[in-house]
Structure 1
Amino acid sequence: MTITYGWRAGFDNAALDTLHAAGFGYAAQGIDWHARLARHSLGWVCAHRGEVLVGFVNVSWDGGVHAFLVDTVVAPDARGHGIGTALVAAAVSGARAAGCQWLHVDYEPHLTQFYVESCGFGPTAAGLLAL
Protein backbone atom coordinates (compact mmCIF):
# COMPACT_ATOMS: atom_id res chain seq x y z
CA MET A 1 0.00 0.00 0.00
CA THR A 2 1.65 3.25 -1.16
CA ILE A 3 0.53 6.24 0.88
CA THR A 4 1.44 9.84 0.12
CA TYR A 5 1.34 12.52 2.79
CA GLY A 6 0.95 16.22 2.20
CA TRP A 7 1.10 19.26 4.46
CA ARG A 8 -1.79 21.55 3.52
CA ALA A 9 -2.59 19.06 0.76
CA GLY A 10 -5.65 19.39 -1.40
CA PHE A 11 -8.70 17.31 -0.58
CA ASP A 12 -12.33 16.88 -1.56
CA ASN A 13 -14.79 18.24 1.03
CA ALA A 14 -17.14 15.27 0.70
CA ALA A 15 -14.26 12.79 1.02
CA LEU A 16 -13.01 14.42 4.22
CA ASP A 17 -16.53 14.63 5.62
CA THR A 18 -17.03 10.91 4.90
CA LEU A 19 -13.63 9.95 6.37
CA HIS A 20 -14.23 12.01 9.51
CA ALA A 21 -17.71 10.52 9.99
CA ALA A 22 -16.45 6.95 9.51
CA GLY A 23 -13.54 7.51 11.87
CA PHE A 24 -15.58 9.08 14.65
CA GLY A 25 -18.77 7.07 14.24
CA TYR A 26 -21.48 9.42 13.04
CA ALA A 27 -23.26 10.23 9.78
CA ALA A 28 -21.58 12.62 7.35
CA GLN A 29 -22.82 16.18 7.96
CA GLY A 30 -21.89 18.05 4.80
CA ILE A 31 -19.26 20.16 6.58
CA ASP A 32 -17.39 22.71 4.48
CA TRP A 33 -13.93 21.60 5.58
CA HIS A 34 -12.16 24.06 3.30
CA ALA A 35 -13.85 27.00 5.05
CA ARG A 36 -13.32 25.52 8.52
CA LEU A 37 -9.62 24.91 7.97
CA ALA A 38 -9.11 28.34 6.39
CA ARG A 39 -10.54 29.98 9.54
CA HIS A 40 -8.88 27.92 12.25
CA SER A 41 -5.87 25.98 11.05
CA LEU A 42 -2.17 26.47 10.76
CA GLY A 43 -2.21 23.48 8.46
CA TRP A 44 -3.33 19.89 8.05
CA VAL A 45 -1.95 16.67 6.72
CA CYS A 46 -3.76 14.41 4.28
CA ALA A 47 -2.83 10.82 3.58
CA HIS A 48 -3.83 9.51 0.17
CA ARG A 49 -3.73 6.00 -1.25
CA GLY A 50 -3.81 6.89 -4.91
CA GLU A 51 -6.71 9.32 -5.20
CA VAL A 52 -8.45 8.03 -2.05
CA LEU A 53 -8.23 10.04 1.18
CA VAL A 54 -7.34 7.52 3.91
CA GLY A 55 -6.05 9.78 6.69
CA PHE A 56 -6.19 13.31 8.02
CA VAL A 57 -5.03 15.43 10.94
CA ASN A 58 -5.78 19.10 11.58
CA VAL A 59 -3.22 21.42 13.18
CA SER A 60 -4.99 24.37 14.74
CA TRP A 61 -3.06 27.09 16.54
CA ASP A 62 -3.09 30.22 18.65
CA GLY A 63 -1.40 32.38 16.02
CA GLY A 64 1.87 32.17 17.95
CA VAL A 65 4.00 29.33 19.25
CA HIS A 66 1.31 26.83 20.30
CA ALA A 67 -0.26 24.38 17.87
CA PHE A 68 -2.85 21.70 18.60
CA LEU A 69 -3.61 18.38 16.95
CA VAL A 70 -7.30 17.87 16.28
CA ASP A 71 -9.25 15.19 14.44
CA THR A 72 -6.53 12.62 13.80
CA VAL A 73 -8.34 10.00 11.74
CA VAL A 74 -7.47 7.01 9.57
CA ALA A 75 -10.01 5.16 7.44
CA PRO A 76 -11.10 1.97 9.21
CA ASP A 77 -9.90 -0.23 6.33
CA ALA A 78 -6.45 1.42 6.33
CA ARG A 79 -5.63 1.15 10.03
CA GLY A 80 -2.70 -0.83 11.37
CA HIS A 81 -0.20 0.28 8.72
CA GLY A 82 1.42 3.26 10.49
CA ILE A 83 -0.63 5.89 8.70
CA GLY A 84 -1.69 7.65 11.91
CA THR A 85 1.90 7.83 13.17
CA ALA A 86 3.09 9.19 9.81
CA LEU A 87 0.28 11.78 9.80
CA VAL A 88 1.34 13.02 13.23
CA ALA A 89 5.03 13.08 12.22
CA ALA A 90 4.18 15.23 9.19
CA ALA A 91 2.08 17.51 11.42
CA VAL A 92 5.02 17.88 13.82
CA SER A 93 7.28 18.85 10.91
CA GLY A 94 4.76 21.33 9.54
CA ALA A 95 4.19 23.00 12.91
CA ARG A 96 7.93 23.17 13.59
CA ALA A 97 8.61 24.69 10.15
CA ALA A 98 5.92 27.32 10.86
CA GLY A 99 7.82 28.41 13.98
CA CYS A 100 5.67 26.73 16.62
CA GLN A 101 7.48 25.72 19.79
CA TRP A 102 4.79 23.50 21.30
CA LEU A 103 2.40 20.93 19.86
CA HIS A 104 -0.45 19.92 22.15
CA VAL A 105 -2.84 17.01 21.87
CA ASP A 106 -5.72 15.87 24.04
CA TYR A 107 -6.65 12.22 23.85
CA GLU A 108 -8.77 9.61 25.58
CA PRO A 109 -6.97 7.05 27.77
CA HIS A 110 -7.23 4.26 25.19
CA LEU A 111 -5.09 6.38 22.82
CA THR A 112 -2.19 6.82 25.27
CA GLN A 113 -0.02 4.18 23.60
CA PHE A 114 -0.49 5.81 20.20
CA TYR A 115 0.27 9.40 21.23
CA VAL A 116 2.88 8.75 23.93
CA GLU A 117 4.68 5.63 22.77
CA SER A 118 4.24 5.77 18.99
CA CYS A 119 4.26 9.54 18.41
CA GLY A 120 6.53 10.72 21.25
CA PHE A 121 4.22 13.05 23.16
CA GLY A 122 4.79 13.46 26.87
CA PRO A 123 1.78 13.01 29.12
CA THR A 124 0.51 16.18 30.81
CA ALA A 125 -2.28 17.09 33.14
CA ALA A 126 -5.11 18.94 31.42
CA GLY A 127 -8.59 20.09 32.15
CA LEU A 128 -11.78 19.69 30.18
CA LEU A 129 -15.13 21.38 30.59
CA ALA A 130 -18.14 20.06 28.72
CA LEU A 131 -20.12 23.01 27.33
Structure 2
Amino acid sequence: MMITYEWRGGFDNAEVNALHAEGFNHRALEVDWLTRVQRHSLGWVCARDNDDLVGFVNVVWDGGAHAFVLDTVVAGSHRRSGIGAELVAEAARQAREAGCDWLHVDFEDDLRPFYFDACGFKPTAAGLIAL
Protein backbone atom coordinates (compact mmCIF):
# COMPACT_ATOMS: atom_id res chain seq x y z
CA MET A 1 0.00 0.00 0.00
CA MET A 2 1.58 3.27 -1.18
CA ILE A 3 -0.48 6.21 0.07
CA THR A 4 0.04 9.68 -1.38
CA TYR A 5 -1.32 12.89 0.12
CA GLU A 6 -2.10 15.97 -1.91
CA TRP A 7 -3.09 19.41 -0.68
CA ARG A 8 -5.91 20.69 -2.89
CA GLY A 9 -5.73 17.38 -4.71
CA GLY A 10 -7.94 16.65 -7.67
CA PHE A 11 -11.07 14.60 -7.15
CA ASP A 12 -14.49 14.07 -8.64
CA ASN A 13 -17.67 14.54 -6.66
CA ALA A 14 -18.78 10.92 -7.02
CA GLU A 15 -15.69 9.53 -5.28
CA VAL A 16 -15.95 11.97 -2.34
CA ASN A 17 -19.69 11.31 -2.04
CA ALA A 18 -19.06 7.55 -1.95
CA LEU A 19 -16.26 7.89 0.61
CA HIS A 20 -18.35 10.25 2.77
CA ALA A 21 -21.36 7.90 2.65
CA GLU A 22 -19.24 4.95 3.77
CA GLY A 23 -17.41 6.91 6.46
CA PHE A 24 -20.44 8.63 7.94
CA ASN A 25 -22.85 5.74 7.39
CA HIS A 26 -25.45 7.34 5.15
CA ARG A 27 -26.64 6.81 1.62
CA ALA A 28 -24.55 8.36 -1.14
CA LEU A 29 -25.66 11.91 -1.86
CA GLU A 30 -25.00 14.10 -4.85
CA VAL A 31 -23.09 16.90 -3.13
CA ASP A 32 -21.06 19.19 -5.36
CA TRP A 33 -17.94 18.93 -3.21
CA LEU A 34 -15.72 20.62 -5.75
CA THR A 35 -17.80 23.80 -5.78
CA ARG A 36 -18.16 23.66 -1.99
CA VAL A 37 -14.45 23.43 -1.24
CA GLN A 38 -13.48 25.95 -3.88
CA ARG A 39 -15.98 28.45 -2.47
CA HIS A 40 -15.52 27.96 1.28
CA SER A 41 -12.25 26.20 2.05
CA LEU A 42 -8.67 27.14 2.67
CA GLY A 43 -7.98 23.75 1.12
CA TRP A 44 -8.44 20.02 1.46
CA VAL A 45 -6.26 16.95 1.53
CA CYS A 46 -6.83 13.86 -0.59
CA ALA A 47 -5.21 10.53 0.27
CA ARG A 48 -4.87 8.05 -2.56
CA ASP A 49 -3.86 4.44 -2.78
CA ASN A 50 -2.75 4.38 -6.40
CA ASP A 51 -5.73 6.03 -8.13
CA ASP A 52 -8.30 5.25 -5.43
CA LEU A 53 -9.44 8.02 -3.08
CA VAL A 54 -9.07 6.47 0.38
CA GLY A 55 -9.06 9.59 2.56
CA PHE A 56 -10.26 13.18 2.58
CA VAL A 57 -10.33 16.14 4.94
CA ASN A 58 -11.73 19.62 4.34
CA VAL A 59 -10.09 22.68 5.92
CA VAL A 60 -12.35 25.71 6.13
CA TRP A 61 -11.26 29.01 7.62
CA ASP A 62 -12.26 32.47 8.67
CA GLY A 63 -9.85 34.15 6.26
CA GLY A 64 -7.47 34.91 9.10
CA ALA A 65 -6.12 33.08 12.12
CA HIS A 66 -8.62 30.22 12.48
CA ALA A 67 -8.92 27.07 10.37
CA PHE A 68 -11.34 24.22 11.01
CA VAL A 69 -11.08 20.53 10.14
CA LEU A 70 -14.31 19.09 8.70
CA ASP A 71 -15.34 15.81 7.13
CA THR A 72 -12.24 13.79 8.02
CA VAL A 73 -12.91 10.39 6.46
CA VAL A 74 -10.92 7.26 5.57
CA ALA A 75 -12.17 4.29 3.57
CA GLY A 76 -13.08 1.33 5.76
CA SER A 77 -10.50 -0.87 4.07
CA HIS A 78 -7.73 1.59 5.01
CA ARG A 79 -8.65 2.58 8.57
CA ARG A 80 -6.28 2.17 11.51
CA SER A 81 -3.24 2.56 9.27
CA GLY A 82 -2.36 6.19 10.07
CA ILE A 83 -4.03 7.74 7.04
CA GLY A 84 -6.47 9.85 9.06
CA ALA A 85 -3.71 11.23 11.28
CA GLU A 86 -1.59 12.06 8.24
CA LEU A 87 -4.54 13.81 6.57
CA VAL A 88 -4.91 16.01 9.66
CA ALA A 89 -1.14 16.57 9.92
CA GLU A 90 -1.01 17.78 6.32
CA ALA A 91 -4.04 19.99 6.95
CA ALA A 92 -2.23 21.50 9.96
CA ARG A 93 0.97 22.08 7.96
CA GLN A 94 -0.91 23.82 5.19
CA ALA A 95 -3.02 25.94 7.56
CA ARG A 96 0.16 27.02 9.37
CA GLU A 97 1.81 27.87 6.05
CA ALA A 98 -1.24 29.97 5.13
CA GLY A 99 -0.73 32.04 8.29
CA CYS A 100 -3.37 30.47 10.52
CA ASP A 101 -2.64 30.38 14.25
CA TRP A 102 -5.28 27.84 15.28
CA LEU A 103 -6.72 24.62 13.90
CA HIS A 104 -10.08 23.68 15.42
CA VAL A 105 -12.06 20.45 15.31
CA ASP A 106 -15.24 19.16 16.83
CA PHE A 107 -16.14 15.50 16.98
CA GLU A 108 -18.22 12.81 18.65
CA ASP A 109 -16.92 11.30 21.91
CA ASP A 110 -15.83 8.03 20.30
CA LEU A 111 -13.27 9.98 18.23
CA ARG A 112 -11.49 11.52 21.24
CA PRO A 113 -8.56 9.05 21.06
CA PHE A 114 -8.07 9.79 17.37
CA TYR A 115 -8.11 13.58 17.63
CA PHE A 116 -6.36 13.91 21.01
CA ASP A 117 -3.88 11.03 20.90
CA ALA A 118 -3.18 10.42 17.20
CA CYS A 119 -3.53 14.01 15.96
CA GLY A 120 -2.37 16.05 18.94
CA PHE A 121 -5.41 18.26 19.51
CA LYS A 122 -5.86 19.54 23.06
CA PRO A 123 -9.20 19.68 24.89
CA THR A 124 -10.76 23.14 25.18
CA ALA A 125 -13.99 24.60 26.40
CA ALA A 126 -16.32 25.26 23.50
CA GLY A 127 -19.96 25.87 22.84
CA LEU A 128 -22.43 24.65 20.27
CA ILE A 129 -25.96 25.57 19.26
CA ALA A 130 -27.89 22.91 17.35
CA LEU A 131 -29.67 24.65 14.50
Q: TM-score with structure 2 length normalisation?
A: 0.98
Tell me the residue number matched to 2:85. Answer: 85
Secondary structure of the structure 2 residue equivalent to 1:26: coil
- Tell me the distance in 2 between the aligned counterparts of 1:68 and 1:55: 17
Work out the CA distance in 1 between the residues paired with 2:115 and 2:25. 20
SS class of match (1:88): helix
Q: CA deviation at 1:108?
A: 1.2
Instruction: Find the aligned partners of 1:23 and 1:86 in 2 and give their Cα distance.
Output: 17
Partner of 1:23: 23
Code of the residue aligned with 1:116 in structure 2: it is F
Look up the match of 1:114.
Answer: 114
Unaligned regions of 5+ residues in structure 1, if any? none
CA displacement at 1:64 relative to structure 2: 0.6
- The unaligned stretches of length 5 or more in structure 2 are none
The aligned length equals: 131
Name the Cα RMSD after superposition: 0.7
Aligned residue for 1:116, secondary structure, equals helix
Give 1:102's aligned residue: 102
Cα deviation for residue 92 of structure 1 reads 0.4
Q: How far does residue 12 in structure 1 lie from its aligned partner after superposition?
A: 1.4
Question: 1:52 corresponds to which letter in structure 2?
Answer: D
Equivalent in the alignment of 1:33: 33
Which aligned runs of 4 or more in structure 1 are off by greater than 3 angstroms? none
Distance 1:124 1:65 in 2: 17
Give how far 1:13 is off: 1.0
Percent of counterpart pairs with the same letter? Answer: 62
What letter matches 2:98 in structure 1? Answer: A
Secondary structure of the structure 1 residue equivalent to 2:44: strand
**SS of 1:45 mapped into structure 2:** strand
Classify the secondary structure of the residue corresponding to 2:103: strand
- Equivalent residue number for residue 58 of structure 1: 58
Equivalent residue of 2:85, what SS? helix
Provide the rounded CA distance (Å) in 2 between the counterparts of 1:113 and 1:27.
27
* Separation (CA, whole Å) in 1 of partners of 2:49 and 2:27: 23
AA at the equivalent of 1:72: T
Task: Tell me the TM-score normalized by structure 1.
Answer: 0.98
